[in-house]
Structure 1
Amino acid sequence: MSFPNVLTLIIDRRHHSLPAEAIDIARNLVKGAAPVTLSEKEAVDIPFSLSEKGAASIETIRATLAPYKVDTIITKNRGRRKAVLIADMDSTILTGETLDDLATLLGLGDKIAQVTKAAMNGEIDFATSLRERTAFLKNMPEKALEDVYQNLTLNAGAIELVQTMKANGARTALISGGFSWYTKRIAERCGFDENYGNELEIKDGKITGNLIGDILGPESKREHLDRLCEERGIKLKASLTTGDGSNDIPMLKEAGLGLAFHAKPVVRKEIAQQVNFATLRAHLFAQGYPASSFIEA
């Protein structure tokens, strides 16, 4: 019997093992076939049919398995591997927010963090919030950017995600509402093909508090998605996007597979496919890649 859909179960292997009980529960919820191991005690696929009478929704499955700290992603069996990847940078590829880290270093942490939180939760306009936060940096030394960069940490699985998809022919782009000063360097560390961000104005070794050019915000991310798919000659369903903030919602909704990664509540309300516990490796498992095929960092 052929199954058109796949339910993928993933845990964070650094802290947990995938319980057999959770697999059995998931299989019963979707009336699925025998599980296929993608990574021992970390990830499995359960083939099933969405049309199967009594099959549970992704929301029900996620809520049921949440106590086990198991992420659940549903995809179609056909076309699982994507040809375009667009990833947000702050709190997605990176563990933190570069602008907040910069503010903390400069003693402006509380002021800027409050504006960042409001922006990521969709409470205030993104462009306005970015200009407000950038203005706080006026007259600060350019060296502070480098000091923050030296302490930036990649989220687990970031390099594996980018390199594995590239090795399988995908075009990859890092697109951030943060500063291009950082996207260029992080893209190089991970191996992204392209990177885009907002350009910070720097004169005489100091940050002016201004941005150069148009703001790269929510619609800009979606437009880059459209462009990359058009350039590759693929449909949107062959793309994967990932992000955590409200400015990622348009591209997450439009992609063939949009994954809300450890996302803000406003994003989780809008995006059905979520990674709330596992690492960025989950994005590869969701495409059917077994761990044995990952390009290790």
Structure 2
Amino acid sequence: MSASQIPPATAVPGDDVPTLLVKIFGKDRPGITAGLFDTLAAFDVDVVDIEQVVTRGRIVLCVLVTAPPGRGSGAAEGDLRATVHSWAESLRLQAEIISGRGDNRPRGVGRSHVTVLGHPLTAESTAAIAARITGTGGNIDRIFRLAKYPVTAVEFEVSGVATEPLRTALATEAAALGVDVAVVASGLQRRAQRLVVMDVDSTLIQDEVIELFAAHAGCEAEVAKVTAQAMRGELDFEQSLHARVALLKGIDESVVEKVRAEVRLTPGARTLIRTLKLLGFQVGVVSGGFTQVTDDLKERLGLDFASANTLEVVDGKLTGRVVGEVVDREGKARLLRRFAAEAGVPLSQTVAIGDGANDLDMLNAAGLGVAFNAKPVVREAAHTAVNVPFLDTVLYLLGITRDEVEAAETHAD
């Protein structure tokens, strides 16, 4: 075919081109979408836009098409209206056809995904979030549900306002409402993030590992006090680590197996890791805890990377010391970079998850830093926060729906 024979591409309708918005709603059943387009095909119209939603068995199908071409287009439009209404009535559906001109209005500059998590998600909190988005100058272009379990998660696609001021405004609103709101910039990078690295204690697992060891040494209260101070950023982590580990001196090495058996995974941890792995992500952990536990977790959960401190053992007893380089706040960020380099993933495509002050450098270094049930200082500094006790809700921040999670699990089985 010569260049002169190639048909010109259909132009996007300008503001002066007549268009029709065809809306169909009623009880859903197979064949509605195909039937509508079969009906419209007889009038030689072009499809400009389509949107379909099914909620509790009720369908809303909206199709924007060009007006019928040719002479007597008014009569042709009348025929189209009559035919569509007749077809809809035959299926006990309702139809509405609205004349207008041009395509949808262009979306504003500045586009973000706003994920709202509630347990439950109330109408009051949803109304407040929507009002605050509008108050920042943003426009809600689309809303859809990501999940109904273990939390209700909905996503707003917003345009017209930059991501950072929108995030700041909604963080204040979310704190007052008691819901979790995550704001991330739109773009391909969101779904391209291919390495997830998380803290272990009080993130991947529900426990503080050193406190489990301390329970066997009879010094749990003393260790817990120092741990809490370190996580709030009141103490230097390395100093506090050495002070706590010193209290474990003399414990028999057999306690390691007991502690491993006592570790409780955070609800949703297995689902998070399993889903990420099925989607092609690499997953790792960095911990201010101990390799005696993280190595076991790596094997059990199929993790790609794991790094932590190592308790020194001599003659079958803990010496009260750690060996090797200490994994502290700076160390966690350094390990994130190392894991990313080994995985061949740029930092912009990494996700870090943590709860304590010693996770802050790692959260800020990652493309997306998630504070998970974190201390206030961490929530304020991270890109986004999750305050429900389900680790798999992090998937929704990546735009992964519950349906995709369930499909991945079914495929794996």
Give yes or no for TM over 0.5: yes
The SS at the match of 1:192 is coil
Residue pairs, 1:30-109, within 5 angstroms: 30=133, 31-40=139-148, 42-49=152-159, 51=161, 57-66=166-175, 68-78=177-187, 79-81=189-191, 82-109=193-220
CA contact (8 A) 2:305 2:339 kept: no
The SS at the match of 2:262 is coil
- 1:36 is matched by which residue type in structure 2? F
Which residue does the alignment assign to 2:131? 28
After the TM superposition, which of the residue ranges 161-170 and 82-91 deviates more from structure 2? 161-170
Structure showing the higher strand proportion among its residues: 2
TM-score (norm 1): 0.91
Match of 2:301 among 176, 190, 195: 190
Q: Deviations over 1:87-133 (max 9, x none)?
A: 00000001120101221232101111111111111112111111111
Which residue does the alignment assign to 2:121? 18
CA RMSD of aligned residues (A): 2.2
Residue pairs, 1:121-160, within 5 angstroms: 121-160=232-271
TM-score (norm 2): 0.66
- 1:58 is matched by which residue type in structure 2? R
Which residue does the alignment assign to 2:113? 6
Residues of 2 paired with 1:261 and 1:120: CA distance? 13
The SS at the match of 2:337 is helix
Q: How many residues align?
A: 292
CA contact (8 A) 1:29 1:56 kept: no
After the TM superposition, which of the residue ranges 203-212 and 82-91 deviates more from structure 2? 203-212
Shift of 1:67: 5.4
Highest CA radius of gyration, 1 or 2? 2
Q: Would the alpha carbon gap of residues 37 and 187 (structure 1) be closer, same or farther in structure 2, given more than 3 Å must change?
A: same
Shift of 1:266: 2.5
Residues of 2 paired with 1:278 and 1:26: CA distance? 22
Residues of 2 paired with 1:185 and 1:208: CA distance? 21
CA contact (8 A) 2:268 2:391 kept: yes
Shift of 1:9: 0.8
Q: Deviations over 1:122-171 (max 9, x none)?
A: 11211111111111111111122222221211111111111211211211
The SS at the match of 1:249 is helix
Shift of 1:58: 2.6
Residue pairs, 1:280-291, within 5 angstroms: 280-291=391-402
- 1:92 is matched by which residue type in structure 2? T
Q: Deviations over 1:255-284 (max 9, x none)?
A: 110011111222223224111235212210
Shift of 1:76: 1.7
Residue pairs, 1:188-227, within 5 angstroms: 188-227=299-338
CA contact (8 A) 2:117 2:154 kept: yes
Identity %: 33
Residues of 2 paired with 1:25 and 1:75: CA distance? 19
Match of 1:242 among 353, 361, 365: 353
After the TM superposition, which of the residue ranges 186-195 and 92-101 deviates more from structure 2? 186-195
The SS at the match of 2:353 is strand
Q: Would the alpha carbon gap of residues 211 and 56 (structure 1) be closer, same or farther in structure 2, given more than 3 Å must change?
A: closer
Shift of 1:251: 0.6
Shift of 1:176: 0.4
Residues of 2 paired with 1:50 and 1:243: CA distance? 31
| Ranges in structure 1 where 5+ consecutive residues have no aligned partner | none
Which residue does the alignment assign to 2:87? none
Q: Would the alpha carbon gap of residues 80 and 10 (structure 1) be closer, same or farther in structure 2, given more than 3 Å must change?
A: same
Residues of 2 paired with 1:262 and 1:71: CA distance? 10
Residues of 1 paired with 2:352 and 2:168: CA distance? 20
